[in-house]
Structure formats: C-alpha cells, structure tokens
Structure 1
Amino acid sequence: MGSGHSKERKDFQIGKASEFYWACRNGDYQKVKHLLVHLNFEQLSQIEPNGSTALHAATHNGHYKIVELLLKQGCPRITLNRFGHTAYEEAQTEQMRAVFHRQTHQRFVDENPIESFELTSKSSDDKQTTDDVPDDWVKGYTTKRGAHEANLMHAIAKHL
C-alpha cells in the first residue's frame, strides 16, 4: 500500500482500518506505543482502506503526543489521503501544525552533529577485503584530531 501520492483514492471503505490506525485516531497513546514495536515502515505509513494514514487520523483528531511519536518514528509527512491532503493539512489548529515543524533551524543537520558520527579506526593490515575490493577508501579515526573531516564537523557543531 505504501505512501501513495494520488489526489483521491476511489476504492476507500469508510470504517475499515487497522488496529494501529484506530489507536492513533482515538488517542490511545499506550496502545500506539505498544503496537509501534511490531510495525515495519510500510505498516507505519500505509494508507488504510478508509483512505487515510494513522498520522492523518491522529493529526485530524488533535492527538499531539501521538503525532510527535509517529513523526519521530519516521512516518512520512508527504503521504496524501483520499482527499489529496497531507497530515499537516489535516491539522485543525496552529498548535497541531507546530508539531510538524522541524526543531532545528537547519533542516538536515542534527542538533549535535558530533554525537551523530562514530569515529573508528581500522588496522592497516586489513586493506583488502575478501571480494578483492580495496577497503582503504574509507578511513576512520579515533580522535577528532585524526582527520580533517572530523575537525571540520567539530568546528561546525561549535558554531551552531
């Protein structure tokens, strides 16, 4: 089913939806949290037979904590429901729309980039892999001083 982008679904069935969808729609935070553990990405973002996603339902019904949880789990923001609306467009209040706004002023940069990268080192003896592809094109370092790129990331993080 996935994240369809068609303007309107013609085959929807009002009232037909998954247990996860209904938990999101009804604001049952604990149940949503429990069910999330068992869902893959496709299930998390599926368009239900009624023409909406769980994110659309939670947003439309004003369940802030559930919307935050779904967005943190990577629920797609651009999926269109049967009316051609994103979940953001289904928000009934500015307060709900604010939940969709990114927390940082830089959309594609983490709050703390230094913690996003794990610095590693590799033994110089392991330059060749078993499939005859050189493995030394990627270098890792154990300290920020060990690599120019690591120092650059450190400098960027200090100035954010």
Structure 2
Amino acid sequence: MSNEDYYVEFITKVFSGSLSATATQINDDVKSITNLVFLEIQKCTGTMFAGDAIYALFYNVTSFADLLVNIVSGIALGTISGWIDVIRQNIKYRVCVDAAAFKWKSVMALALLDMSRASKEEIIGFLKINADFDATNDEEIRNVFHLLRQISAKIKEAQDK
C-alpha cells in the first residue's frame, strides 16, 4: 500500500463511507486535515488502549505521517481500520470518532475537491450534491465563496497551532 492508500483508508473509515477518496485526491490540505482528525481521535481515546500492545504505537506518535512510518515499517501491529473499529465498538469512545468526523467532514470534503483547482461550477456541483443549495441565487453563491474562504482560513489556523 502507498501512503496515499492509508489516507484513503483512514478517511473512508472515520467518515463511515460518507466521504469517498482516491489516492489521487490526497493533497497537502487533505493530509493536514487528516492529521488534525487523527490527533483529535488520539487525544480523546488516549486512555482506552493503555497497555494494549497492538495499538500502543498509535499513541506514541505526534502525527498521522509518523504513524504511517510505523505501519509501513511493520512496527505498528494494528491497522488503521482495526483501530477505528475497536474504538467504535466501545460506546464510551465511539463519540471520539463521531465528533471528529462531524467537526471535519465539510472541510475534508472541500479539501478532497481541491478548492485551489476547482472551478466555480465544480464547487457548485459539489454543493448541490452535499447540501441544499440554490445555484441560481447569486447571493447564495457569494455566501458559499465567503464560507470557502473562512474554511481555508480555519485550515490554515489549525495548521499553525
């Protein structure tokens, strides 16, 4: 598996298939957002796997990229899908994955669309599929582009922390 395939696996698993991704969509923004989602889940579930040898290395890393190094080198015994499955089976910790997915779904969807390369028509097409959006209303279109700028700023702010 390539590193991009691991990102696709993580995105598919965390967002329960409601977002689809391909390896070619894994750009720097997607990687940054994936890292933020991973860190939120890691922090929220930190005590769940205390003493668990299979998933211990999921908590001894400071980024998703570091986790991939452990998985690719064979140091990490667990899989990304397995980790998320085990978390979701525990009612106390399931909320950790669900809350991170809820918080980051829209931002991740836009990053997968690669806003920097998307045309106005592609973004409008995406919004028609994923929200109640009136593409004939100029004010609504302006509001969406304002929202996109805010989302871009939110991503940048989170990366700078």
TM-score range, shorter chain: under 0.3
From the CA coordinates, give the structure whose radius of gyration is larger: 1
TM-score scaled by structure 1? 0.28
More helix by share: 2
TM-score scaled by structure 2? 0.27
